[in-house]
Structure 1
Amino acid sequence: MASTFRAFDHRKYVPVEPVPLTQRQWPTRTLTHAPIWTSVDLRDGNQALLEPMSVEQKKRLWALLVKVGLKEIEVGFPAASQHDYDFVRWLIEQDQIPEDVHIQVLVQAREHLIERTFAALEGVKRAIVHVYNSTSTVQRERVFEQDREGIIAIAEQGARWVQEYAARYPDTQWTFQYSPESFTSTELDFSVAICEAVMAVWQPTPDKPCILNLPATVEVGPVNHFADQIEYFITHLKNRDSAIISLHTHNDRGGAAAAAELGLLAGADRVEGTLLGNGERTGNMDIVTLAMNLYSQGIDPQLDLSNPDEIVQVCTECTGLPVHPRHPWIGELVYTAFSGSHQDAIRKCLQKQRDDEAWQVAYLPIDPKDLGRDYQAVIRVNSQSGKGGMAFLLERDFGISLPRWMTLELAPHVQKASEQVSGELSSQAIRDILLETFMCAAPVTLKGYRLDRDDAECLSVTLRHGQESVTLQGQGNGAISAFMDAWQQYTGQRVNVVDYGEHALGEGSDAVAIAFVQLNVDGTRISGMAEDGDTVSASLKALLSALNRAGAGQTLTGAVTKEMLQA
């Protein structure tokens, strides 16, 4: 059927061709260890910024990359930018490169650029020189106007220049890396052929391998297609054991992290990316996302991501790019549940989760504490939330464990308040609503009581109503039943206790008691609550709160008037 929008015509695009793999292996494999990580924040990430980083910003981001634990860091394109050149010289001259860290630099396969690149690296102890040229069909035919042989000749010459200039600096431990740029848009047999031609120049060995970096310079197909491309390349490459297979995925289709993960299943050893996915167009592969993907499967990512707030802060301040609150794993709202059913499930799972068992909490694939987050952000309440969320916040922040019936009665009040503010309610706001609704201390208040325990509980309770005081007496099997007996004798009102609960707020001898009661007052259920340092006082005040909400003042006034008339 023709497209509804004439300018939106899918027929001008051609799908990727299937990779000729009849017995692909990657779908049945399982990852068991982390790859070699390589950060390109300071080069690929930097070139994608509207305003590239200053040397000082690069220094700060460099410190973060080292702190996180990255051992290979692409630090720039020193032949293309004075800023990059100066930064590389600062790293070397100020001895800023740890012994276990390799810096990497990028350069095109052009002699004058290669010469300046090695000049920038003079004195470095170890470095990766990353040379590349474009190989895709469209680049060959429309940009360089070269056939396959001409493009291979460019790669071979670049490889020779890299080898020759490296020989001028014998005190440095060199690693050579080659990228057939736009690998995903290059015929697979040609990708293999050009990489083998480069290897023939460098003569790598299993003890001293080169790096073959296979970039999805533009993501042009599904992630499974990329995995097929990687498996095809690896299974058709001669001297596979003399090459480290590296991936450099982009996010044009939103699949950079997934493509890298599947590419590792297909046999790759190494991945290049940026900490939070910054890069050309829609960005590079997000190292934090892929590392946390592995971590959530019980694989040590070999990176320290325990302080995501620092990562976000440094990356944001150095790049000027914000981090989305729903960014995978470390976004501000990632471990926040507004949905009522989600909140209830999280609360129940957290209550049952033991320290000595595997993590099993609904809606939380990892423990937020592993990323330096606490549970304060896990459950938050807005107009979409339910009863479980507010109950969780009250218990977590104030130690108030609401009975189920009190939670059900509170919910509509919280819902109404959240709709009025058109946003999130804090735990303090929810507590205020709870107290304002159910802690009704007027007009009838407790002045004092005396409880005698013989065969039954004998209660003498003095109530104040305005300027008047009245003393009631009753009996029962506890203070609550004795009070209800006294109230009914005095007022004649039909009141029954439907449910009751109490617990301590805190621990120790000075802990305050909180009591909850639900009454049936003349056929209507109504609840009340109270706090007091004395457990019996808390119970009696909770009863009065409920009765006050039911119009206890009028009831008591009517009882007094009736008594006076009878007298």
Structure 2
Amino acid sequence: MAEKKIDIFDTTLRDGEQVPGCKLNTEEKIEVALALEELGVDIIEAGFPISSPGDFASVEAISKVIKNATVCGLTRSVQKDIEVAAEALKHAVRPRIHTGIGSSDIHIKHKFNTTREAILERAAKATKLARNLVSDVEFFCEDAGRADNAFLARLVETVIAAGATVVNIPDTTGYCLPHQYGEKIAYLVNNVSNIDKAIISCHCHNDLGLATANSIAGIMNGARQIECTINGLGERAGNTSLEEVVMIIKKHHALGFYTNINTTQLNPLSRLVSDTMRMPVQPNKAIVGSNAFAHSSGIHQDGFLKEATTYEIMTPEEVGAETSKIVLTARSGRSALAYRFQKLGHQFNRNDIDTLYQQFLAVADTKKEVEDADLNILAQNYLHVAV
């Protein structure tokens, strides 16, 4: 059975930039956008044009330099928003307007103070307007994660009939469990009569740490686009992490999917986004964290040194990371110590290592990590005594 393509929609420059302190200027946005295109991202959400003159200028500038990826601008279901987005995107080779409105009763009642029927009318009107301005229109059903499925299906059917080419089913608050989100996508696939006329997209937030799992559940049930960010940046607890979903798809061939992402660019782009947005990546972050390929437990180190696949399901080179690291701590074993001594040019036999190991532990108990300088001192002192 042929693998199915999953489109990667990156919103680092829109949802990711909503993180406090992560505001970028136009030059920085262009740099990141070009790197995203080189990565192989299918759609780049460049910003929210009507939100500020600076955001309009950035979307316009990105539209001029991106040649292969679709460039997307976010709007509300408001005429002025949509017209301004179209103006900002007029230079794009592949422009997309991303418009939408709340779909849950919580949003309909408390955010919009309106009715379901009014939401359907407004959604259809906004979609038709956007489709008159560009050929590619994505509609987001905000808070779909908490929306009634029957009404959500009516909304999806309405906007597809009005011209939406992609329909975004956001778990805006990160509320859903994976099986719930997957069942929601499956419900739409099975109950929206014109669902074959559009792509279903997943846009999951990480409030409960389930954004990646929910996105994968979404594509397993019929979605064909994942909206995500580099390093999982985004509102509150963040969005689905691009590097995580891409590597899950790559490593789990049985899922039957593929992306166009050049995974060797994942770590370099992670560092670029981290540096540009001044947002450090946590060391234990999957795929791109500094400890993602570090081994400090003696049991793990011994297994890894015998055969890397005992503790690594991907190579550092596969995701553009530096080589795997053997980190020496008080939990490390003799094999790791011997390996690190050998890397430093010290050749010791088993008896030597047994003696040195006790001295190493004495040092390790006083430090979080034993460095090369510490090992060189141990080796020199041992050789001096041996002489």
TM-score range, shorter chain: over 0.9
Q: What is the CA distance between 1:136 and its match in structure 2?
A: 0.8
Is 1:302 the counterpart of 2:260? The answer is yes
Residue in 2 that maps onto 1:154? 122
In 2, Cα distance between the equivalents of 1:163 and 1:349?
Answer: 55
Residue in 1 that maps onto 2:365? 419
In the TM superposition, what are the counterparts of 1:112-261 in structure 2 within 5 Å?
112-164=80-132, 166=133, 174-202=135-163, 210-261=165-216
In 2, Cα distance between the equivalents of 1:385 and 1:283?
Answer: 34
In 1, Cα distance between the equivalents of 2:321 and 2:80?
Answer: 50
Identity of aligned residues (%): 22
In 2, Cα distance between the equivalents of 1:395 and 1:34?
Answer: 45
Judged with a 3 Å threshold, the aligned counterparts in structure 2 of structure 1 residues 396 and 33 are, in CA distance, closer, same or farther, namely farther
Q: What is the CA distance between 1:116 and its match in structure 2?
A: 1.7
Q: What is the CA distance between 1:225 and its match in structure 2?
A: 1.2
Judged with a 3 Å threshold, the aligned counterparts in structure 2 of structure 1 residues 123 and 68 are, in CA distance, closer, same or farther, namely closer
Residue in 2 that maps onto 1:97? 66
Is 1:339 the counterpart of 2:308? The answer is no
> Are 1:184 and 1:216, in contact at CA under 8 Å, matched by a contact in 2?
yes
| 3-state SS of 2:217 partner | helix
Q: Deviations over 1:320-349 (max 9, x none)?
A: 211011110111111111111111111111
Query: What is the TM-score with the length of structure 2 in the denominator?
Result: 0.93
> Are 2:157 and 2:195, in contact at CA under 8 Å, matched by a contact in 1?
no
Residue in 1 that maps onto 2:217? 262
Q: What is the CA distance between 1:103 and its match in structure 2?
A: 0.5
Partner AA of 1:177 in structure 2 = E
| 3-state SS of 1:118 partner | helix
**Structure 1 counterpart of 2:353, from 397, 407, 422:** 407
Q: What is the CA distance between 1:121 and its match in structure 2?
A: 2.3
Partner AA of 2:167 in structure 1 = L
In 2, Cα distance between the equivalents of 1:198 and 1:349?
Answer: 53
In 1, Cα distance between the equivalents of 2:191 and 2:96?
Answer: 25
Q: Deviations over 1:55-77 (max 9, x none)?
A: 12211211211121112111111
In 1, Cα distance between the equivalents of 2:86 and 2:322?
Answer: 48
Partner AA of 1:97 in structure 2 = I
CA RMSD of aligned residues (A): 2.1
> Are 1:49 and 1:319, in contact at CA under 8 Å, matched by a contact in 2?
no
Residue in 2 that maps onto 1:63? 34
Q: What is the CA distance between 1:33 and its match in structure 2?
A: 4.9
Q: Deviations over 1:151-197 (max 9, x none)?
A: 11111121222234x1xxxxxx6201111111001100101001111
> Are 2:267 and 2:321, in contact at CA under 8 Å, matched by a contact in 1?
no
Residue in 2 that maps onto 1:324? 282
In 1, Cα distance between the equivalents of 2:196 and 2:71?
Answer: 23
| 3-state SS of 1:279 partner | coil
In 2, Cα distance between the equivalents of 1:57 and 1:116?
Answer: 22
- Mean CA deviation greater in 179-188 or 34-43: 34-43
Rg comparison, structure with higher value: 1
Q: What is the CA distance between 1:428 and its match in structure 2?
A: 4.5
Judged with a 3 Å threshold, the aligned counterparts in structure 2 of structure 1 residues 438 and 301 are, in CA distance, closer, same or farther, namely farther
Residue in 2 that maps onto 1:367? 315
Judged with a 3 Å threshold, the aligned counterparts in structure 2 of structure 1 residues 413 and 371 are, in CA distance, closer, same or farther, namely same
Identify the structure with bigger relative contact order (alpha carbons < 8 Å, sequence gap 6+). Answer: 2
In the TM superposition, what are the counterparts of 1:65-80 in structure 2 within 5 Å?
65-80=36-51
In the TM superposition, what are the counterparts of 1:15-34 in structure 2 within 5 Å?
32-34=3-5
Residue in 2 that maps onto 1:14? none
> Are 1:341 and 1:388, in contact at CA under 8 Å, matched by a contact in 2?
no
- Mean CA deviation greater in 294-303 or 328-337: 294-303
Name the one with the larger strand percent.
Answer: 1
Q: What is the CA distance between 1:423 and its match in structure 2?
A: 2.2
In 2, Cα distance between the equivalents of 1:194 and 1:301?
Answer: 29
> Are 2:48 and 2:75, in contact at CA under 8 Å, matched by a contact in 1?
yes
In the TM superposition, what are the counterparts of 1:336-485 in structure 2 within 5 Å?
336-350=294-308, 361-375=309-323, 377-398=324-345, 400=347, 402-420=348-366, 422-440=367-385
Q: How many residues align?
A: 384
Judged with a 3 Å threshold, the aligned counterparts in structure 2 of structure 1 residues 58 and 123 are, in CA distance, closer, same or farther, namely closer
In 1, Cα distance between the equivalents of 2:350 and 2:186?
Answer: 57
Q: What is the CA distance between 1:143 and its match in structure 2?
A: 2.3
In 1, Cα distance between the equivalents of 2:2 and 2:362?
Answer: 49
Q: What is the CA distance between 1:31 and its match in structure 2?
A: 11
